[in-house]
Structures are given as C-alpha cells and as structure tokens.
Amino acid sequence: MEVKQANQQSAAEPFILFELAGTSYGVRSRAVQQMEMIEDNITPVPNAPAAVEGVIFSRGQVIPALNLRVRFGFEKVPHDLKTRLVVINTNNRAVGLIVDSAREFISIPASAIQPPNEAISGLKGKYLEGIATLGERIVLILKLDEIVNLAETILPASEST
C-alpha cells in the first residue's frame, strides 16, 4: 500500500492527537486554535452539567471548558501537569476540551481512516467521525461539530430550569 500518491483518497491531513483514559483521539489541526496547560484558572459556572467544568479566560475571550472524560462517561480525575485544554473552533464558536495530555501533531492519510462500526455508534460513537489505524496504533477521530452541538444544548443553565 503506497500512501505517497497525490490523489484525494490518499491525501494526508494534519491532526492533533491527545490522550484520554488511555485512548488516543485525534482532531483536525485546522480546528485547533491553541493548546494550554490547565492551571487553577477555570471558573465554575452555577448549575452547569457535570461535563462543563466552567469557563476560562484565554487570549482575550471567555471559553467554556468541557471535560471530555466526563462527557464520554469516564471517571473524572484531578488535573495534573500533563492535563491540557485544547481550544477548538467549530461553527464560529470556541470551546475548550479538557484532556489528559496532548502533544502530538501527525499527518494521517485519508485511506487510514475508516468509518466507525455500527456496533459502536449506538453508545458514545455519535462523537466519532472515524477510526484511524497507524501501524498497530488506533486513533479515534472526533466529530467536533457533534461535540460542540451537544455542549451548546447543555451550556445555558438558565434554559434548563
């Protein structure tokens, strides 16, 4: 299998990879605004759902901080020196995704990404755009529009009362 051909099927696209609960996830780098360390700079929001840790002031804007561990149903763990805030921009909206660690930038050929199996899509698979195989490594490619749409439906706490 040759991946250096210049056609659209094998064109590689850059991704930012991050770890969450021992699994590798990827987001298209064009959607990532910045990555930051998490300090004690998250302001809790009253009556927010568990996945919304609060808001953070970053580079002149207030950004909601969504804990992906909680959103995906994993155990919430304390932040440490590896914890990162990956600020994404999709649909003209900035949202911070709190992840266990993020420090990889990699190009993934389109031919290496397969759609998620239907058996997965019933559970948390609605967040998955695809599954990439890179040698022995599996990377779950996230569907950011879906994650942000879900966040938008739960962020305004005043509407849920």
Q: Phi and psi for 138 in degrees, rounded to 5?
A: -110, 130
What number of residues does the chain have? 161
CA angle 49, 55, 57 (to 5 degrees): 175
pLDDT per position as a tens digit, 14-56 = 999 999 999 999 999 999 999 999 877 899 999 887 888 999 9
Query: What pLDDT does residue 161 have?
Result: 39
Evaluate if residue 3 carries a pLDDT over 80: no
Proportion of the chain above pLDDT 70, given as a percent: 81
The band of 100, judged by pLDDT with boundaries at 50, 70 and 90, is very high
Q: What is the mean pLDDT of residues 128-136?
A: 90
What whole-number distance in Å separates Cα of residue 94 and Cα of residue 79?
A: 21
Please give the model's pTM, rounded to 2 decimal places: 0.82
β-pairing, 113-114 with 101-109?
unpaired
132: Cβ contacts below 8 Å, ≥ 6 apart? 26, 108, 112, 113, 114, 138, 139, 140, 141
CATH fold for domain 12-155: OB fold (Dihydrolipoamide Acetyltransferase, E2P) (2.40.50)
Sequence ranges of the domains in the chain: 12-155
| Helix%, strand%, coil% for the chain, nearest 5 | 20, 45, 30
Sorting pLDDT into bands at 50, 70 and 90, what band is 158?
very low
Strand partners of residue 53: none
